Structure 1
Amino acid sequence: MSTDRAENLRQRAVLHAALADPARLGIVDTLALGDASPSELAQALGMPSNLLAHHLKVLEREGVVGRSRSEGDRRRSYVHLVSGSLDRLASPLVRPARRVLFVCTANSARSHLAVALWRRASAIPAESAGTHPAAAIAPGVLDTARRHGLDVPEVRPQHVADAHGPEDLVVTVCDRAHEELTIPVDVHWSIPDPLRTGRPEAFDEALQEIAHRVEHLAPSLVPTS
């Protein structure tokens, strides 16, 4: 592990520890709505002033909250969330990516749904492929795409060997492809195969799960030039 990554993990762990106490998390939640004086915080949270002072000291030490003097009554201060302080909770960028390649076994269902969802979420190009390509995209995928307003072109499934580029970020979206793929895999999503039942509900469930994964991954990548 690099020194920079180790330090990033340490800093995030410290911040998580500062927010692990329910009282301190309550303070942060309250301040998310607006600034408050210590006495207002104590009243809102039903917390003794000495206990509040302790928790504020911890949050101030970690740079989560700050104080400013009132421009009215100079004896009064207000506590506020430090802008951007909670951004450190998120994991750092995974890596730059020129293109994302979604791979499943047949390249007939999950990988095409992933590409369609990815193109909604990110400017980074995406393509799909399979380890054992089928003859055509599954009709259930096309039906699901129409129901959800997704653009899934009726292209012929392709083999991963023909689609993979050296700078691709490879995401496997089925276990079989992940376990038999010989090229390096960057990310694996264990998505159940909707073709096992062929029910519309199965395709909808796969779509929902892939959408959740895309939503999490997309902000973690930056496009390369």
Structure 2
Amino acid sequence: MITDQSTRGGGSRELDRRVRVHAALADSTRLRITDHLAYGDASPTELQALLGIPSNLLAHHLGVLGEAGVVTRRRSEADRRRSYVRLLPDALDGLLPRNGTTVSRVVFVCTANSARSQLAAALWARVSAVPVASAGTHPAGRIAAGALEVAGRRGVALGQAQPLPFADVVRPDDYLVTVCDNAHEELHQTSSDLPSLAMGLHWSIPDPVRVATAAAFDAAFDELNQRVIHLAPHLTAV
């Protein structure tokens, strides 16, 4: 006799989770939200502008997605009144859009270009043939010691990398991934001055330099690695 394990113990809980996720996505607005968050983060203000709906309706949809375990929020490190909505890892396994995008180069951007963007570029180079670079809106004088240490512990080579200014690195056809709330919000505010720049995605990742502990750098490394692995198959070189 075949026993249906989906009705027992953990199988039942997983079935319940899947039912909640499918119910949450049974709405065109919520499906558009999840599609938009598939590979990057967005603030409620950005989602509201994208969808053209009032803030109370957006709050309702985000609440439904949050209760279903699909999205979560993280407070902006730049403007503490602002938050970013993120799709939870593995929440929509098998349900995300699979459309690929052709790009000439990926550029990871943070404020100082001394930790997150450098690590992201090094991680990207390990898994993708798409050219990669990194830059800072206000570059530091050198790579953060914690970034060099975590790279060494995890077997990632930063080589002779040095922080570089955004204006000296970024080209109009680059695909930008901001990994810093400050850089994202600064570029978002000045995007009208960069009409030909493809902004790409934002990843709201806490700054490990502020905390300056090995644990903080490990956490940033792990999140960057997870996101890079998730995005890389969906971007191909021109």
Question: Could you state the TM-score of these two structures normalised by the residue count of structure 1?
Answer: 0.60
Deviates more, 1:190-199 or 1:151-160: 151-160
The corresponding residue for 1:154 is 160
RMSD: 1.9
* C-alpha distance 46-89 of structure 1, shift in aligned 2 (>3 A): closer
How many residues in Structure 1 have an aligned counterpart in Structure 2? 144
Letter in 1 for 2:4: L
| Identity fraction in percent | 50
Does residue 98 (structure 1) correspond to residue 57 (structure 2)? The answer is: no
The corresponding residue for 1:220 is 234
The corresponding residue for 2:140 is 134
Is the Cα–Cα contact under 8 Å of residues 93 and 221 in structure 1 kept in the other structure? no
* Aligned ranges 1:32-111 → 2 under 5 Å: 43-45=2-4, 89-111=95-117
* Aligned ranges 1:3-18 → 2 under 5 Å: none
Residue 88 of structure 1 deviates from its aligned partner by 7.1
* C-alpha distance 165-148 of structure 1, shift in aligned 2 (>3 A): same
Where do 5+ consecutive residues of structure 2 fail to align? Answer: 7-92
The corresponding residue for 2:90 is none
Letter in 2 for 1:99: R
The corresponding residue for 2:76 is none
Letter in 2 for 1:91: P
Letter in 2 for 1:45: D
Structure 1 counterpart SS, 2:108: strand
Name the CA distance, whole Å, in 2 between partners of 1:161 and 1:111. 15
Is the Cα–Cα contact under 8 Å of residues 178 and 185 in structure 1 kept in the other structure? no
Letter in 1 for 2:171: G
Letter in 1 for 2:234: S
Deviates more, 1:180-189 or 1:156-165: 180-189
Letter in 2 for 1:132: H
Does residue 178 (structure 1) correspond to residue 184 (structure 2)? The answer is: yes
Larger Rg: 1
Name the CA distance, whole Å, in 2 between partners of 1:134 and 1:94. 34
Residue 46 of structure 1 deviates from its aligned partner by 7.6
Residue 102 of structure 1 deviates from its aligned partner by 0.2
The corresponding residue for 2:201 is 187
Name the CA distance, whole Å, in 2 between partners of 1:107 and 1:44. 55
* C-alpha distance 46-132 of structure 1, shift in aligned 2 (>3 A): closer
Name the CA distance, whole Å, in 2 between partners of 1:152 and 1:114. 10
Q: Deviations over 1:29-57 (max 9, x none)?
A: xxxxxxxxxxx7xx23289xxxxxxxxxx
The corresponding residue for 1:204 is 218
Q: Deviations over 1:157-184 (max 9, x none)?
A: 1111110112211000000000011344
Where do 5+ consecutive residues of structure 1 fail to align? Answer: 1-39, 48-86
* C-alpha distance 99-204 of structure 1, shift in aligned 2 (>3 A): same
